[in-house]
Structure 1
Amino acid sequence: MNASTFLTGPLLLLQLCVTTVLSFFARLLDKTFSWTVGACEGPGSDPDVNKASPNAVTPTSVNYHFTRKCNYKCGFCFHTAKTSFVLPLDEAKRGLKLLKDSGMEKINFSGGEPFLHEKGDFLGKLVHYCKQDLQLPSVSIVSNGSMIKEQWFQKYGDHLDILAISCDSFDEATNQLIGRTQGRRSHLDNLYKIQNWCQQYKVAFKINSVINTFNVDEDMTDCIIQLNPVRWKVFQCLLIDGENAGEEALREAERFTISEQQFQDFLDRHSSISCLVPESNEKMRNSYLILDEYMRFLDCRGGRKEPSKSILDVGVSAAIRFSGFDEKMFLKRGGKYVWSKADMKLEW
């Protein structure tokens, strides 16, 4: 064996080792970069941890929770103030345009409390854009009602189809126990005032109620009939790990939960109300297309909210595959209905 042969073996071995190490670090850097690229991904938004749906999904009805901040402290809240992030207006509009181009017909703005950010003006601009620029058949809002002023209706009411106000009880003391209040303000006074404004400014009025330990025995029949909403959505209190249950949660909702039988008893007590739309935990969990503040779809199939990539980074079709959306349950729970106020034939 000559000297050149003796040196070739170790040199090749050294070269192989160096190549292996460089390859390892290249893969590590690539993975790190994939977590930081894209301004709207937010924390933990890697779709590899989700189970993608093999079927194409059309985002017919989308719930956009553009803010998590709220002035109420409802004990069972399952979309809590874990961040204070809100997209810039132009970026939010860009995402809404992507959704419209992908088949969206109805947008619902929620929170948090959507009227809290910029005193409702940010929300109003989104409502105007969706109705006037995107020409969506239906634009709706879910609010606790505490921040709404008549001036908002005067400026933006023409562009809004449905306003849903959350009200869990017609007893002020019960609302206090639940946390649906701010200081000594009357939640019910706001509810009735907003109902009148909806009538005056031609916006369909809706009520959402979460049935829980504190209101499960209440009879709301007379008050609901008096308020006469177009829909009364009645939800069974739902636990979501990391939101209102578990170590990372900002709420502890276990004491608010009720059984299926208790929920059914409440529904039976109010069976005479024709506008009642019940939603048990089974119907609710996977039948909503939910966008968070980063415009990521949230998959609740595992009892948590697992985020997709943002539609602003990867597009709607790529992100929606990780939404966990159950279209059959969406239709079963009555998710598709007459949702444009122009088609409701309401008497104003």
Structure 2
Amino acid sequence: MNSTIRSANWHITSKCNYKCQFCFAKEVRTDLRDHKMQEEILQTLCEIGIEKLNIVGGEPQMHPDFDRILKLSKDYGFTTTLQTNGSFLTEKNVPLMAKYLDWIGLSIDSGCEKTELQLGRGFGNHVQRVKKCCSWIHSTGLNLKINSTITSLNWDENMHGLIGELSPQRWKVFRMLILENANADAKYLCPTDDEFRTFVQKHLDLVLRNGDRPVFEDNEDMIGSYLMISPDGKIQTNINGRLEYLDFLHIINENKFNFMDIKKYFRRGGIYDWNV
């Protein structure tokens, strides 16, 4: 029985309508459509003590069973979070999803539309789109998380103003991570050590709306520190610097969590007060 890990990321689909150059979810894997197996994954996660389930992609709203998976996740009692690019959020569906969600996470890396377009994030209007989505999220009372990936194109940007305007309860800042069998063709976007350090130092003083500080994750922090389920229902691991897939039920039933570094999980803030 897992006695330490309390959160998991379920990448329910690899499909996406964006072409983010740094993304490592580029390999198309078959979406799990078997309802019994979907429930089996949720039931098993519940049994091993997972409390927070992050529904991610790809773009998760492109999964044909997205609504069903979202509702089931809440029925199983998870604190539920959705990580999305925001392109399928609307003023109408955000309040409907709020019944089954505790958090919505939006990905934005820059306040400059040109930079986002160069990164493959959207179609030239991503920044304005995210701002609109944030207003809908705030109006429902849902918690908001912002994810930003730091690259060679945005490392020198000052995001105090943008984050202040978006007003999230949580801001996660990732250094672009290269996995050799996933996004090695985008190495040219990797920031240097000094560049990432400069971005971090520039934003250490930022205080979020709830008094929390940003969470910064360097590459080493991300390797082996996440419990991830792939679109086809396998354990997805990056502990060897590449994406690898393991049998979900075998790993869970045998309690073989050696694909994760538990110390890193805690050090990067894998557990926080998500029931706010």
Give me the TM-score of the superposition, normalised by structure 2. Answer: 0.92
Aligned to 2:203: 270
Q: Distance in 1 between matches of 2:27 and 2:35?
A: 20
Q: 1:207 to 1:201 in 2, by over 3 A?
A: same
Give the distance between the partners of 1:159 and 1:254, measured in 2 at CA: 38
| 2:83 pairs with 1:142 | yes
The residue aligned with 1:316 is 252
Q: Please tell me whether residue 243 in structure 1 is matched to residue 243 in structure 2.
A: no
Cα displacement (A) at 1:272: 1.6
RMSD: 1.8
C-alpha distance in 1 between matches for 2:31 and 2:191: 33
- For residues 277 and 269 of structure 1, the distance between their equivalents in structure 2, rounded to whole angstroms, comes to 13
The whole-number CA distance in structure 1 between the counterparts of 2:183 and 2:251 is 30
Counterpart residue identity of residue 146, structure 1: S
Matches within 5 A, 1:34-49: none
Q: Which has the larger radius of gyration?
A: 1
Q: Verify: 1:254 aligned to 2:187, yes or no.
A: yes
* Equivalent pair of 1:142/1:163 in contact (CA under 8 Å): yes
Asked if 1:328 corresponds to 2:263, the answer is: yes
SS in 2 for 1:115: helix
8 Å CA contact 2:131, 2:166 repeated in 1: yes
Q: Which residue of 1 aligns with 2:118?
A: 177
Aligned residues between the structures: 271
- Note the C-alpha offset of 1:316: 2.1
Question: In the alignment, residue 53 of structure 2 is paired with which amino acid?
Answer: I
Q: Deviations over 1:202-245 (max 9, x none)?
A: 21011000000111111111111121101110000000111102
2:24 to 78, 86, 101: 78
In structure 1, what is the equivalent of residue 222 of structure 2? 284
- For 1:146 and 1:294, the matched residues in 2 are separated by 24
Structure 1 counterpart of 2:68? 125
Q: Which moved more, 1:271-280 or 1:210-219?
A: 271-280
Percent of aligned pairs with the same residue?
32
Could you tell me which amino acid in structure 2 is paired with residue 65 of structure 1? H
1:61/1:106 contact within 8 Å kept = yes
Question: Aligned partners of 1:218 and 1:201: how far apart in 2?
Answer: 30
Deviations 1:230-286 (A, max 9, x none): 1110000000111102xxxxxx11111112221111011112213311000011111
Q: Aligned partners of 1:62 and 1:108: how far apart in 2?
A: 6
Q: Secondary structure at the match of 2:266?
A: helix
Q: Structure 1 residues 330 and 59, CA, compared in 2 at 3 Å: closer, same or farther?
A: closer
Partner SS, residue 50 of structure 2: coil
State yes or no: 1:339 paired with 2:274.
yes
Contact kept in structure 2, 1:209 and 1:235, CA below 8 Å: yes
Amino acid at match of 1:129: L
1:180 is displaced (CA, Å) by: 0.3
Q: Aligned partner of 1:244: which letter?
A: N
Aligned counterpart, 2:109: 168
Q: Distance in 1 between matches of 2:10 and 2:48?
A: 15
Provide closer, same or farther for how the CA distance between residues 73 and 190 of structure 1 changes in structure 2, counting only shifts above 3 A. same
Is the CA contact 1:56–1:317 (under 8 Å) kept in the aligned structure 2?
no
Equivalent residue, structure 2, for 1:102: 48
* Dislocated runs of 4+, deviation >6 Å: none
Unaligned runs of 5+ in 2: 208-212
Name stretches of at least 5 consecutive residues in structure 1 with no aligned partner: 1-54, 246-251
Q: Which has the higher helix share?
A: 1
Q: Secondary structure at the match of 1:307?
A: strand
Give TM-score scaled by structure 1 length: 0.74
Shift of 1:59: 4.2
